[in-house]
């Protein structure tokens, strides 16, 4: 079986979607019938690192749109049993390779219809749709009227890469966290995507005990606005911005936290919640986006209404009072083994 994966970013990419795509690719190559997986990335922000066996990585496609088009056109001479398309915007290119490609949808990119009719029609006529969450699938189906086969494939968490651990003294010193209880959110701070809930957490901070501080881990162009807001509220000593941080520091960052909190509105899934829980940090997520599914409807963590400051404040208070770090029993639902089994079941179904 030869598989083509057209995608935005994967190897060398940042963030949850790139990670999801890497896991998806890994699971595909581990299918017993897989001979080769050709991966065509549209973005390559960093060197791709080591490419796994069975994967042919067409890195030159990432240069620009024309290069991408040429790279895919060059593949038309080859035969593929399955074609996956990792973004609605890539559907016109995917159509060169298959009449009915399988579309992968993640989050806000699939929550409302694209502006042009072509992509709209191609989305409706996809061969199948794999969604990272029920909510993304439901929102995608709502505008596209897609009636074909659908699958929900939530993120995987590599549990062996995370663990409950002591606070790293260097990080405690760097961020001034000695004697403090720490709320943490990890994510991009982007002006166009003000949906992570940073503002909401900052706004409840004055009503929390003085030893509670808020660590915002991530970079982005909305950082200056958030800093101004923090200053205006007189919270400069209670909100700490890490800026961009090395990926390798991530588990240590989670282990600084007493509560992970993300009252978001725009998460396709909310992978960071899994990471926090894999470090034993109790998690608060939104009931109105994919976070609900990452917390398995409230079984793994606390769901809050992001529009309710009181709901958020009391949820934080409850979890701070518990002073308990443990990895929730149901977190292995998202283990890579389960992810791989789901991918293989989807592949078998698509080949039928």
Contact footprint for other proteins (CB under 8 A): 108, 111-113, 138-139, 142-143, 194-195, 265-266, 288, 298, 302-303, 305, 307-308, 310-311, 314, 317-318, 321-322
Give the Å distances, CA to CA, from 349 to 10, 86, 93. Answer: 24, 19, 24
Smallest separation, CB 312 to other proteins (Å) = 10
Nearest CB to other proteins, comparing residues 40 and 201:
201
Minimum distance from CB of 306 to other proteins (Å)?
Answer: 9
Q: How many residues appear in the chain?
A: 352
8 A C-beta contact, residue 142 and residue 302: no
Smallest gap from residue 46 Cβ to other proteins (A): 28
Identify the CA nearest to 68 among candidates 147, 25, 9, 23: 9
| Minimum distance of other proteins from residue 109's CB (angstroms) | 10
Nearest CA among 242, 228, 170, 164 for reference residue 199:
228
3-state helix, strand, coil in the chain (%, to 5): 45, 20, 35
Phi, psi of 56 (to 5 degrees): -105, 115
Q: Which is nearer to other proteins, 310 or 345 (CB)?
A: 310
Which CB, 113 or 165, lies closer to other proteins?
A: 113
CB of 283 to other proteins, least distance (A): 12
Round the CA-based radius of gyration of the chain to a whole number and report it.
21
CB nearer to other proteins: give 185 or 302.
302
Complex with other proteins: residue 163 or 310, whichever CB lies closer: 310
């Amino acid at each position: 079986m030869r598989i083509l994966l057209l995608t935005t970013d994967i190897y060398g990419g940042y963030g949850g979607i790139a990670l999801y795509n890497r896991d998806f690719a890994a699971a595909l190559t581990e299918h017993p019938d897989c001979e080769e997986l050709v991966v065509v990335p549209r973005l390559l922000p960093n060197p791709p690192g080591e490419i796994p066996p069975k994967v042919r990585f067409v890195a030159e496609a990432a240069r620009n749109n024309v290069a991408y088009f040429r790279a895919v056109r060059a593949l038309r001479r080859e035969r593929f049993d399955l074609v996956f398309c990792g973004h609605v915007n890539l559907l016109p290119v995917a159509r060169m390779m298959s009449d009915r490609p399988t579309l992968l949808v993640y989050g806000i990119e699939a929550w409302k219809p694209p502006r042009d009719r072509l992509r709209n029609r191609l989305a409706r006529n996809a061969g199948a749709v794999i969604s990272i969450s029920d909510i993304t699938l439901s929102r995608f189906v709502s505008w596209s009227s897609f009636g074909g086969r659908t699958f929900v494939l939530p993120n995987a968490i590599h549990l062996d890469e995370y663990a409950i651990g002591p606070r790293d003294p260097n990080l405690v010193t760097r961020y001034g966290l000695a004697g403090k209880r720490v709320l943490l959110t990890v994510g991009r701070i982007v002006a166009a995507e003000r949906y992570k809930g940073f503002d909401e957490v900052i706004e409840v901070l004055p009503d929390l005990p003085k030893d509670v501080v808020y660590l915002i881990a991530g970079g982005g162009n909305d950082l200056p606005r958030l800093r101004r807001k923090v200053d205006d509220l007189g919270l400069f000593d209670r909100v700490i911005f890490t800026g961009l941080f090395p990926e390798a520091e991530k588990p240590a960052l989670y282990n600084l936290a007493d509560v992970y909190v993300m009252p978001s509105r725009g998460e396709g899934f909310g992978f960071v919640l899994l990471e926090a829980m894999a470090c034993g940090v109790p998690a608060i997520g939104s009931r109105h986006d994919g976070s609900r599914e990452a917390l398995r409807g409230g079984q793994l963590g606390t769901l809050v209404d992001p529009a309710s400051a009181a709901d958020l404040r009391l949820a934080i208070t409850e979890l701070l009072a518990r002073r308990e770090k443990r990895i929730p029993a149901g977190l292995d639902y998202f283990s890579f083994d389960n992810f791989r089994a789901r991918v293989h079941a989807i592949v078998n179904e698509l080949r039928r």
